[in-house]
Homo-oligomer: A and B are copies of this chain.
Amino acid sequence: MISQARSHSVKRIADSTVRRLSAYLRFLEESAVDGVETISSDALARRGGTTSAQVRKDLSFFGSFGKRGLGYSVPELTSSLRDILGLGREWNVIIVGAGKIGMALGQYEGFEQRGFHVTAVYDTDPGKIGTQWGSILVRDMSRVEADIAEVTPDIAVLAVPVGEAQDAADRLIRAGVKAILNFAPTQLQVPGDVSVRNVNMAMELEGLSFILSNRDR
């Protein structure tokens, strides 16, 4: 029943809901470390920057959790959220672009902890190809299609200069990649069956400069 409800509703789940689920999961994990066994929707709401009604609505998409007046069991809800977010398995990730951002991402421990396993990094720079980052080898971008044909990564992280991003995305998608985390400050054009998330750090700073500029007027 739950799995039916899930496949039914998943298309309507907004990105903002998924972000809140991720925030709830982080709070649950921290609470477990502190020995907390049950948690109220109020506490989850405060942490997710939302209301307890929204918490109940967010969770209700995926089944029935918690008991009225008793709150949620921390281990049970943690496990359910990990399952909902697809964190019960390992995801193969490649990084395209061995610049500073690509390098920081390749060595970011938070990915591995969540089951995102970086298998390779690609670049076109002969000075970088063949170098080793911890356990990860920087490979020649000209080989990316052949490599993907052998083992298709679940997710490709795009950390190339803005002028190369669309071409790189096109190549990855033609080779079979269905999910891209894009760090280039451009809106990629992709087919409907490909999912893209954008991380634009300058844009986040602009969000702050917008607030700062408009606060004093």
Contact = CB atoms under 8 A, between A and B. Distances in A.
The residue in A18, A23, A100, A203 that gathers the most chain B C-beta atoms within 10 A of its C-beta is A203
A181 B197 contact: no
Contact of A18 (B107, B206, B217): B206
A211 B101 contact: no
A32 interface: no
Contact of A155 (B113, B208, B215): B208
A210 B195 CA distance: 11
Contacts of A210: 13, 18, 21, 84-86
A149 to B, nearest CB: 19
Interface stretch (A3-11, A52-60, A66-74, A120-128): A3-11
Nearest to A216: B7
Nearest to A115: B209
Contacts of A204: 181, 197, 199
Interface of A: 3, 6-7, 10, 13, 15, 18-19, 21-23, 26-27, 30, 47-49, 84-87, 91, 93, 100-101, 103-105, 107-108, 110-111, 113-116, 154-155, 178-181, 185-187, 195, 197, 199-215, 217
